[in-house]
Structure 1
Amino acid sequence: MSPKGRRRCRSLPPDILSNLPDNIIDVILICLPCKEAVRTNILSKKWRYHWRRLTELTIDQSHWSTEEDLLYPTSKFLKIVYQLLTLHEGPITKFTLNITKLRSCPEIDFFIYLLSMNGIQHLVLHLPWNEDEGEAYKLSSLFTCLQLRHLALENCFIHPPSNFQGFDRLITLELCDVTISSELLGSLISHCSLLEKLVLVISQVPVSNMIEINAPKLKSFDFSGCISYISLTNVPLLTKVSLDLCEGSSLEAHNFHFVKFFKSCFALEHLDFQFCFEEIDIAKPDEAPTRLPFDHNRVKRLCLPGIVLEHTYETLCCFCLLRSFPYLEYLEIEVSNDGDGCGDVAHKVLILRKYVDTPSVLIVEV
């Protein structure tokens, strides 16, 4: 090189990207969508293979779609996922896959198997409906991921094998429209001895519609959907409960056991309860409980959204809760009226206020 060329090279600014520490590069790559993180391999030799060592991967089908493959993106996208997992080096502790818009995903079990070999701890799968078979996908490799601490599944079928001893490290379990029998679900929950957070979303009523929850470490329980009966048999640490009971739930007084539901919630502090008692409101309003088995002195926060004032049984159950939570600090009640008269709404709201003696009360009229 001529002296003039050497002087020009010495005057060039340093390559800042190539000189970044590895931990800084990791932070940058984690903040990028997976597709963009992979594309950083063109920046320099140091960046070329760095994405392969990422411990967290989030793959969203929408980030990879183009106009050319909108009709049949499945085959191309599955090849992309396969390459990402097979080229990856080192552990993958967190993996998120969102492919709800795909037509099918026949290789999902193989992907889970690769993740189990890489020490997966946090697994999130949002899967599509299997159009070819007309049912949810059956996941069999899932129960080989014994190091899981957080698991979230949507739209799949799971059936724990008879010799499955549970996820003994699992802390969070979220199941959205997951096909599993009530008995196996109860068994799965009871075999997760460290479970602290449970989220269940059930859109369709199963044949056996009773869930028994035996989770001594459980602190938070969030349920949304159709159900006849939820039995909290062993939840001494449960502090937060959210129940959104959708239309279609068979919540008759004699089988839901409204009062018995709270019998084991000794540590309850926060309750969000969406009622769905319209079917029994007219038939059996006199069966509504007046008080829970004992006062829940730890409950500080109560939210009752969507109270329908025409449903007498529903309103009486609301009074039952107010009487049984003497130390409320925050109360939020959202009321609605199916009738034409606005006077009924104001009258019922005044009745609710008579049962409240707390410093912070919010009544929302709809």
Structure 2
Amino acid sequence: MRLPCKEAVRTSILSKKWRYHWCRITELNLDSRLWETKMDKLYPTVKFTKIIYQILSLHEGPITKFSLDIAALKSCPNIDNFIHFLSRNDIQQLVLELPWGKMYNLPFSLFTFSLLSHLTIHNCVIHSPSDFQGFDKLISLKLCDVTIPPELLGSLISQCPLLDNLELEISEDSLSDVIEINAPKLRSFDFTGNITFICLMNVPLLAEVSLSLYQGSSMEADNFFFAMFFESCTALERLFLHFNGSEIEPEDDDEVAMRLPFDVNCVKYLYLRFLILEESYDLSHVLCCIRSFPYLEYLEIQLPVKYVMMFLRL
């Protein structure tokens, strides 16, 4: 159980008794270490397909955790059969890190994993079948650089009644400017990308939020709907704002509000990352937040390296 998959398979040479012990391990973590050697002569995709088929054809019993990392491949091989195979097991945790480039269309069989509790997906296109009823046991969902219709994303989130942790890393042009989140059990939300409005419809337990906004995101107290955002977060205690080193260009007539229309009494911890001190516009937003958090207990500001060097010289 503690060995890398490649080493676990190698135990089959110890004796006849050990030959098939590895076939009953319940956790499979498959990555390039399985097929990469110093003297590679076959194209990686060919070796990958052969090795994975051998592992899955010999495996016996349930697989509770399956992790597949093939991000280094130039293209994504057909993994529909692998996912269909996993759908017949008691899979609880699934991680798929797929190659960049042409996006892979996930098969509908993924949505039949009735015992799934943790799901992480990188680099693919997601469409669900019309009769999808949700993941009843899912508590953690992480989507990175996926292409998914916004209404499907909202529906997927709302159909996971136990969802506790949500991470979204959305690249440009892969989603609209509005995300609706209805998750009554959600406690942690991490968003990275370009967005105008995040609608938190039902998040009474949400205690920690991290927003890493790319250049072009609307961070104004009015345009980003900060008031509506915080009004829905009645349990929010920790707020992370990551500026990504981007410089927001305000319009000439833009003015940042001095404070939100109401006090946000629940926020106690505020973390500001990569704040650009020259940008008075950014600083105004920071001050607007601080003024609106009267019970703030902890403030951490992370500056770019150039500011740290400047302070050291002083």
Common fold, TM-score beyond 0.5? yes
Corresponding residue for residue 247 of structure 1: 215
**In the alignment, does 2:157 pair up with 1:186?**
no
Aligned-residue offset at 1:262: 1.1
Corresponding residue for residue 24 of structure 1: none
Aligned-residue offset at 1:293: 4.0
Aligned-residue offset at 1:144: 1.8
From 54, 79, 99, give the equivalent of 1:108: 79
Q: What does the per-residue CA deviation read over 1:196-217, in whole Å, with 9 as the maximum and x for residues that have no partner?
A: 0000011223362211111110
CA separation of 1:313 and 1:258: change in aligned 2, threshold 3 A = farther
Q: What does the per-residue CA deviation read over 1:165-194, in whole Å, with 9 as the maximum and x for residues that have no partner?
A: 111110000000011011111111111111
**In the alignment, does 2:181 pair up with 1:223?**
no
Instruction: Tell me if the contact between 1:301 and 1:330 (Cα under 8 Å) persists in the aligned partners.
Output: yes
Corresponding residue for residue 290 of structure 1: 258
From 79, 96, 99, give the equivalent of 2:67: 96
Instruction: Tell me if the contact between 1:309 and 1:337 (Cα under 8 Å) persists in the aligned partners.
Output: no
1:116-155, aligned counterparts within 5 Å?
116-129=87-100, 135-140=102-107, 141-155=109-123
1:49-88, aligned counterparts within 5 Å?
49-69=20-40, 72-88=43-59
Aligned Cα root-mean-square deviation (Å) = 2.5
Amino acid at match of 1:85: L
Corresponding residue for residue 17 of structure 2: 46
SS of the counterpart of 1:154? Answer: strand
CA separation of 1:76 and 1:278: change in aligned 2, threshold 3 A = closer
Aligned-residue offset at 1:294: 3.4
Amino acid at match of 1:147: L
CA separation of 1:201 and 1:306: change in aligned 2, threshold 3 A = same
Amino acid at match of 2:266: R
Aligned-residue offset at 1:333: 1.2
1:329-340, aligned counterparts within 5 Å?
329-335=297-303
- Supply the distance in 1 between the matched residues of 2:120 and 2:56 (Cα, whole angstroms): 20
1:229-268, aligned counterparts within 5 Å?
229-251=197-219, 254-268=222-236
Amino acid at match of 1:33: P
Aligned-residue offset at 1:88: 0.7
Corresponding residue for residue 242 of structure 2: 274
Q: What does the per-residue CA deviation read over 1:257-305, in whole Å, with 9 as the maximum and x for residues that have no partner?
A: 122211101001111012478434353442x232234333332211011
Bigger CA radius of gyration: 1
User: For this pair of structures, how many residues does the alignment match?
Assistant: 310
Aligned-residue offset at 1:61: 1.5
**In the alignment, does 2:146 pair up with 1:175?**
no
Amino acid at match of 2:15: S
Amino acid at match of 1:139: L
**TM-score, normalised with respect to structure 2:** 0.90
Aligned-residue offset at 1:230: 0.9
CA separation of 1:188 and 1:40: change in aligned 2, threshold 3 A = same
**In the alignment, does 2:139 pair up with 1:204?**
no
Aligned-residue offset at 1:337: 10
SS of the counterpart of 1:113? Answer: helix
- Supply the distance in 2 between the matched residues of 1:235 and 1:49 (Cα, whole angstroms): 48
Shifted more, 199-208 versus 224-233: the winner is: 199-208
SS of the counterpart of 2:274? Answer: strand
Identity of aligned residues (%): 58
Shifted more, 234-243 versus 62-71: the winner is: 62-71
**Structure 1 residue runs without a partner (length 5+):** 1-29, 347-363
Instruction: Tell me if the contact between 1:113 and 1:144 (Cα under 8 Å) persists in the aligned partners.
Output: no
Q: Which has the higher contact order (CA 8 A, sep 6+)?
A: 2
Amino acid at match of 2:298: Y
CA separation of 1:218 and 1:70: change in aligned 2, threshold 3 A = farther
**TM-score, normalised with respect to structure 1:** 0.78
SS of the counterpart of 2:67? Answer: strand
Q: What does the per-residue CA deviation read over 1:347-366, in whole Å, with 9 as the maximum and x for residues that have no partner?
A: xxxxxxxxxxxxxxxxx999
Shifted more, 291-300 versus 92-101: the winner is: 291-300
Aligned-residue offset at 1:67: 3.4
SS of the counterpart of 1:217? Answer: coil
SS of the counterpart of 1:297? Answer: coil
From 26, 32, 35, give the equivalent of 2:3: 32
Q: What does the per-residue CA deviation read over 1:38-57, in whole Å, with 9 as the maximum and x for residues that have no partner?
A: 00111123322111111111
Instruction: Tell me if the contact between 2:148 and 2:175 (Cα under 8 Å) persists in the aligned partners.
Output: no
Aligned-residue offset at 1:252: 5.5
